[in-house]
Amino acid sequence: MSDSIEELIIKAADPSEDRERWLNTIQDEETIALLLESVPIEQRLDIWRDLDSERRLPVLLNLRHDPRETILDAMSLSELDALFDNSDAEALIELAETLPRRLVERALLRLDDEQRRYFEQAREYDENETGHWVSQKLLMLPASAKVRDGLRLLRREIPRLTQNIFLVNRIGSYLGAVPINSLVGQPDHLPLSELLDEECPTLSAEEDIVEASRKVQFCGYPALPVLEPSGKLVGRLDVVTANEVIEEEFESKLMASAGLDENEDLFAPIGKTIEGRSVWLGINLLTALLASWFIGLFEATLESVVALAVLMPVVASMGGIAGSQTLALIIRGLALGQVNETNARQLLHKEFKVGAWSGLIWAVVIAVVAYWWFDSMLIGAVIACAILINIVTASISGLFVPLALKRMNFDPALSGAVVLTTVTDIVGFVVFLGLGTLVLV
């Protein structure tokens, strides 16, 4: 798949190619979306204009938010109207995340009553709730339905990933799921309620969409019913939607480590990019200046023993790496619910031991290097102590920084590394230069 996108990018850059023709040869809209994200904005809009109008909506739905916005911004009102005419409630719920409110209202006018009701229902739930993302493409029958009714339903085209027929009572309350294959060989007049799959789990519309998606991913059913607290069936969450949610969640974790979000556009406008990235750079500047301020306390020492200035990055970075290893382990543990205040003491015990032993080993190695380099036993001794103390501090901080951040309701995956590096930098510099002042000056 990745090869073909590469080829497409090459073709897109080649003016001699007949773009409209080869765009039509691309079968799936996900690939076109990937292509659009992979080219500069001007070229992106050129390709967009050559795209068949009926393919525009699915391509748009496959784009990440930021690139999607670059396209929506460039569309005229009449083009948007054409788009909305092809749209159903489900598509509009997805688009509403990037559309200005005014345009959402405009699009709503073009939906029929049923679709508008569906859209309004989704809007009753927050974007992080399952109810916002359910699909109403499902098989549903009244509680009194018989096998014959079920078979009649199956003769029509059925939605993707459908394994069950859901039974509801007169007020729409969910009664249970009947597996399609269980209808085979049953008498026509048998009530479907006698064929219920007692094990099929249900989801709550108010539950967090990421948790609900994880349940769908591993439940062994291609889709699960979603219920209101009252028991009313509001729709279902299928495994493709769940996988999209989890993929986005994962991307956001990867990008968070650099202070970016998952919707970042490869070819975002320069101004927007600079603005987006400046928050993280600003925070970093403050922590770096804080570290510098601590170094500044030891100006006199640095002046008299310049070797300390030369070796500073070694102390700080060994602490940073040791801490980030514990941090990665703890952040995963927190995400899985495996780390909490009960076993924190046991983890502290283990991480302290690991830090102490590994600190000792690296202290010796680095002391030998420093001795050999600066021909001074004392410098070797000072850096050895500093490395040992900083690696132990780092291992312990790698455990407590994310726990503390979580307690204060910050996301440890986003801010853990910055806080931790600040701690290890400052501890490293202060211990190293402080010891140097005591011993060497």
Residue 368 lies near a copy of itself (rule: CB under 8 A) = no
Instruction: With beta carbons less than 8 A apart as the criterion, state whether 300 and 441 touch.
Output: yes
* 140 near a copy of itself, rule: CB under 8 A: no
Residue 180 in the binding site for a copy of itself (CB under 8 A): yes
Q: Pick the closer one to a copy of itself by CB: 85 or 258.
A: 258
- 161 touches a copy of itself by CB under 8 A: yes
Assess 251 for contact with a copy of itself (CB under 8 A): yes
User: Both tokens of residue 277?
Assistant: 């990235």
Identify the burial level of 13 via C-beta atoms within 10 angstroms of its C-beta, where 0-12 means exposed, 13-18 middle and 19 or more buried.
exposed
Contact 112, 86 (CB under 8 A): no
Give residues with Cβ within 8 angstroms of 281, minimum separation 6.
none
Which of 15, 21, 102, 185 touches a copy of itself by CB under 8 A? 185
Question: What single string gives the DSSP state of each residue in 55-113?
Answer: HHHHHHHHS-HHHHHHHHHH--HHHHHHHHHT--HHHHHHHTTTS-HHHHHHHHTTS-H
Residue 89 buriedness (CB in 10 A; 0-12 / 13-18 / 19+): buried
Stretch that binds a copy of itself, among 48-56, 73-81, 116-124, 215-223 (CB under 8 A): 215-223
| Contact between 333 and a copy of itself per CB under 8 A | yes
Check binding of 382 to a copy of itself (CB under 8 A): no
Looking at the Cβ atoms of 122 and 420, the one nearer to a copy of itself is 420
Who's near 188: CB < 8 A, 6+ residues apart? 146, 147, 148, 151
Report d(CA 101, CA 302) in Å as an integer.
59
User: Which stretch in 49-57, 129-137, 300-308, 401-409 sits in contact with a copy of itself by CB under 8 A?
Assistant: 300-308
Residue of the chain from 97, 144, 194, 365 that contacts a copy of itself (CB under 8 A) = 365
Size of the site for a copy of itself (CB under 8 A): 113
Nearer to a copy of itself, 82 or 400 (CB): 400
Question: Shortest distance, CB of residue 324 to a copy of itself, whole angstroms?
Answer: 5
Q: Considering only residues 338-357, where is the footprint of a copy of itself by CB under 8 A?
A: 338-340, 342-343, 346-347, 350, 353-354, 357
Task: Give residues with Cβ within 8 angstroms of 367, minimum separation 6.
Answer: 380, 381, 383, 384, 387
Classify residue 137 by its DSSP letter. Answer: -
Rank residues 104 and 239 by Cβ distance to a copy of itself and give the closer one.
239
Q: What is d(CA 117, CA 59) in angstroms, rounded to the nearest whole number? A: 25
Site for a copy of itself in 19-38 (CB under 8 A): 30, 34, 37-38
Tell the smallest beta-carbon distance from residue 124 to a copy of itself (Å).
25
Distance linking the first and last C-alpha atoms of the chain: 63
Q: Residue from 26, 82, 348, 369 that binds a copy of itself (CB under 8 A)?
A: 369
Please name the amino acid found at residue 110. Answer: R
- Find the shortest distance in angstroms from Cβ 276 to a copy of itself: 9
Within positions 221 to 250, which residues make up the interface with a copy of itself, using CB under 8 A?
Answer: 221-222, 239-240, 243-244, 246-247, 250
Collapsing DSSP to helix, strand or coil, 230 comes out as coil
Of 266 and 439, which CB lies nearer to a copy of itself in the complex structure? Answer: 266
